[in-house]
């Protein structure tokens, strides 16, 4: 076993990255070196060097099959670690104020890593010690193998560090044997493959096999021996199938990402630390298997999405640059989704919900408050997206319920009698604003959220809201602002039971078949708010907290400036968005992490985060339960320092999405 007792921030960063990839297949953005791009030969301006074609080294992307589901590639582990130390996150881990907490977590981290590393034998620390160049993690599907439907493979460049690699492999050998694994050696193409049949420990992943081989150039490890032999075939020039580097989808996604990264990288002197690529449906299946998700007789979400046209999303990928002069972290990526129909919607069935469109980067509305932590502007054809959901809802429930539900809302004399088709949806605009803030001191109800939709016909929406609230038993009208009807809903047991009976009873479900779940929000507020003047905008606003909606409505009604748009850090992010090319976008976002995370951090520090009344906390409470329904043991956070000791490591940032003819381009960053 290895120890984290003296791990540097860069080692912790690498451990963090590979724990994610080796253990959970998360979507955290990895990175790529500009001198060694996987998109080489596909039109990118980078060339395979730094351990690429030079010296006869063949990069891993030329050895892995085009059938893979996803990969994460750090092309230079030493460069990644050196650059990471210069980032805010690297400096956070190195801050003396954080050391008591980090020290307190070492034993837990070691136990956690030990349970994960048996996927392929190699530990993240091993890669830190032995990788002189690239390190690649790939997931490969084996759909015909029902017991082991996917495999993982790690390939690392170890040139110049063979002695350390041999020592690491010997340690792995001792550890696996001590854990009850048996070893058999297979000679293949002049190399010895160590094949271990493992005996899982309680809590470890159920892996039947680990295969490892190495020479002076690279180490290859997998949980399936045929994956290792296939890589050796590829090294010998006898690859059975095309490599992922030849895949049109891979080349397209990484080429676009590389081209988008080129100018800011060249100007910013950053280190492009790696890249990622994924086929979403395949990776979703692997994630489900990894997490051992068994939904029983419930809806198969992945199958549902595939049936409803979302398999049009063929691939996604990106490149991450770190430690630049201007950008602490910069990501450029692309989601590839070629149209499947000649219709303007581009896609079929429920995938037509992806009706995002581009428009100019709007200024932040004057009425946004200065305590706002994040603000997102989204362009979506709301009515089109709503009607496109019909086939998915019907399939999910196994019956044609969508149209009767709409008719019931319109015609039921005990209901609101709202005509969604003719009166409500045509009155909604296509621009959505989502903002979050929080109040101090930090309490479980401090996190607040507000959604705003610009309206085409505010009178129609006012009438619809009034009719809906008048039949809602837990709704009450607040007389807080002349001319503005603010409705508050405070959930109670009576309304929950009534709501369940109304919805599920109408759908023909017996009471026993309805699995009760608490609402995501116990209280919320809704109102239509008009700006002053004949040319002013009107908004439908929904908030998790009535106070936030009322504060916002008062500013809009009076024309008062909220102050957010004029903050220096916000202006910096807006300038960065524009400089990166956010001229016409489908989504844009501004984040002040020192504000948006301050309450979450304090609640985490005091052990109260999971008790928060936010939607996120509610989801966390539902997800992080063990199989007996008990809470998973929380991390010991009492040694975390107060936020004011480390808030300098929480930078502002932003991101934006542009809708393209065949997908979406992605950009995101944190500033220095």
Q: Omega into 441 within 30° of 0, i.e. cis? A: yes
Which region among 214-228, 233-247, 545-559, 628-642 has the lowest average model confidence (pLDDT)? 628-642
Asked if residue 32 has pLDDT above 60, the reply is: no
What's 357's DSSP letter?
Answer: -
Spatial distance between the Cα atoms of 143 and 112, rounded to a whole number of angstroms: 29
Residue 406, CB half-sphere, CA atoms under 13 Å: how many? 16
CA dist 183 to 17, 172, 209, Å? 29, 11, 10
Q: Can you read off the two tokens belonging to residue 53?
A: 């074609």
What are the pLDDT digits (tens) for 514-545?
Answer: 455 556 678 899 999 999 887 899 999 999 99
- Smallest CA-to-CA distance from 433 within 449, 448, 445, 420 is with 449
Q: Are 32 and 73 in contact (CB under 8 A)?
A: yes
What's 267's DSSP letter?
Answer: H
Of residues 297 and 644, more confidently modeled: 644
Average pLDDT across the chain, whole number: 86
Q: Can you read off the two tokens belonging to residue 292?
A: 């051992």
DSSP 192-245: EEEEEE--PPTTS----EEEEEE-SSEEEEESSHHHHHHHHHHHTT--SS-BGG
- pLDDT on residue 405: 97
Of residues 20 and 162, more confidently modeled: 162
Residue 102, CB half-sphere, CA atoms under 13 Å: how many? 19
Q: Are 8 and 91 in contact (CB under 8 A)?
A: no
**How many Å is the maximal CA-CA distance in the chain?**
84
Band (16; pLDDT cuts 50, 70, 90): very low
CB atoms within 10 A of CB 39: 27
Q: Can you read off the two tokens belonging to residue 517?
A: 């779940």
- pLDDT on residue 325: 95
Band (227; pLDDT cuts 50, 70, 90): very high
Asked if residue 54 has pLDDT above 70, the reply is: no
- Smallest CA-to-CA distance from 487 within 519, 457, 524 is with 524
- Smallest CA-to-CA distance from 331 within 662, 589, 599 is with 589
Asked if residue 3 has pLDDT above 50, the reply is: no
Q: Can you read off the two tokens belonging to residue 374?
A: 């994040």
Spatial distance between the Cα atoms of 205 and 209, rounded to a whole number of angstroms: 11
Spatial distance between the Cα atoms of 313 and 347, rounded to a whole number of angstroms: 10
CA dist 182 to 60, 116, 117, 119, 177, Å? 29, 19, 17, 15, 6
Of residues 561 and 13, more confidently modeled: 561
What are the pLDDT digits (tens) for 576-625?
Answer: 999 999 999 999 999 999 999 999 999 999 988 877 766 656 655 554 45
Q: Are 541 and 526 in contact (CB under 8 A)?
A: yes
Share of the chain above pLDDT 70, in %: 80
pTM across the whole model: 0.87
What are the pLDDT digits (tens) for 342-394?
Answer: 999 999 999 999 999 999 999 999 999 999 999 999 999 999 999 999 999 99
What are the pLDDT digits (tens) for 261-279?
Answer: 999 988 888 998 899 999 9
The partner residues of 106 in beta bridges, in order of sequence, read none
């Amino acid at each position: 076993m290895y120890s984290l007792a003296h791990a540097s921030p860069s080692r912790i960063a690498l451990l963090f990255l590979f724990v994610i990839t080796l253990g959970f297949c998360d979507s955290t953005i990895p990175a790529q070196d500009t001198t060694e791009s996987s998109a080489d030969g596909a039109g990118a301006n980078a060339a395979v060097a730094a351990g690429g074609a030079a010296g006869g080294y063949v990069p891993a992307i030329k050895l892995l099959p085009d059938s893979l589901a996803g990969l994460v590639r750090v092309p230079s582990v030493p460069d990644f670690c050196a650059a990471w130390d210069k980032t805010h996150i690297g400096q956070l881990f190195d801050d003396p104020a954080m050391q008591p907490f980090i020290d307190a977590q070492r034993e837990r981290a070691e136990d956690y890593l030990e349970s994960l590393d048996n996927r392929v034998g190699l530990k993240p620390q091993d890669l830190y010690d032995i990788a002189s160049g690239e390190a690649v993690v790939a997931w490969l599907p084996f759909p015909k193998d029902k017991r082991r439907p996917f495999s993982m493979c790690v390939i690392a460049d170890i040139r110049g560090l063979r002695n350390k690699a041999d020592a690491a492999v010997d340690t792995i050998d001792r550890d696996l044997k001590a854990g009850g694994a048996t070893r058999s050696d297979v000679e293949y193409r002049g190399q010895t493959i160590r094949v271990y049949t493992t005996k899982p420990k309680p809590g470890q992943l159920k892996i039947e096999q680990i295969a490892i081989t190495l020479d002076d150039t690279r180490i290859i490890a997998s949980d399936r021996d045929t994956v290792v032999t296939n890589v050796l075939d590829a090294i010998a020039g006898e690859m059975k199938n095309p490599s992922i580097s030849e895949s049109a989808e891979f080349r397209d996604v990484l080429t676009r990402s590389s081209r988008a990264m080129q100018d800011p990288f060249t100007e910013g002197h950053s280190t492009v630390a790696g890249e990622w690529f994924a086929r979403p449906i395949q990776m979703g299946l692997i994630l489900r298997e990894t997490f051992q998700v068994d939904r029983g007789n419930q809806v198969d979400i992945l199958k549902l999405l595939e049936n409803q046209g979302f398999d049009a999303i063929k691939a996604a990928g990106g490149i991450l640059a770190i430690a630049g002069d201007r950008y602490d972290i910069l990501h450029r990526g692309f989601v590839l989704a070629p149209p499947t129909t000649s219709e303007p919607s581009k896609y079929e069935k429920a995938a037509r919900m992806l009706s995002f469109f581009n428009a100019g980067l709007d200024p932040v509305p004057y009425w946004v408050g200065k305590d706002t932590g994040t603000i997102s502007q989204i362009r979506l054809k709301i009515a089109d997206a709503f009607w496109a959901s019909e086939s998915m809802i019907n399939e999910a429930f196994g019956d044609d319920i969508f149209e009767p539900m709409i008719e019931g809302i319109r015609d039921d004399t005990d209901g609101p009698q709202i005509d969604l088709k003719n009166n409500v949806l045509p009155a909604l605009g296509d621009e959505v604003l989502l903002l979050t803030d929080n109040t101090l001191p930090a309490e479980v109800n401090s996190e607040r959220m507000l959604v705003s939709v610009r309206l085409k016909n505010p009178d129609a929406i006012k009438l619809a809201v009034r009719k809906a609230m008048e039949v809602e038993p837990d709704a009450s009208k607040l007389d807080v602002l002349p001319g503005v009807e603010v409705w508050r809903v405070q959930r109670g047991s009576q309304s929950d039971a009534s709501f369940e009976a109304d919805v599920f009873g109408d759908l023909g479900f017996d009471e026993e078949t309805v699995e009760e779940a608490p609402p995501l929000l116990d209280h919320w507020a809704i109102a239509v708010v008009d700006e002053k003047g004949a040319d002013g905008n009107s908004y439908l606003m929904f908030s998790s907290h009535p106070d936030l909606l009322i504060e916002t409505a008062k500013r809009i009604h009076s024309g008062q400036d909220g102050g957010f748009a004029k903050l220096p850090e916000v202006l910096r992010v807006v300038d960065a968005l524009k400089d990166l090319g956010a001229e016409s976008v489908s989504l844009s976002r501004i984040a002040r992490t020192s504000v948006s995370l301050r309450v979450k951090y304090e609640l985490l520090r005091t052990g109260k985060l999971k008790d928060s009344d936010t939607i996120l906390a509610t989801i966390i409470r539902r997800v992080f339960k063990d199989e007996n329904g008990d809470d998973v043991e929380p991390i010991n956070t009492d040694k975390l320092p107060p936020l004011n000791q480390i808030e300098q490591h929480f930078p502002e940032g932003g991101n934006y999405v542009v809708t393209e003819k065949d997908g979406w381009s992605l950009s995101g960053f944190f500033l220095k």
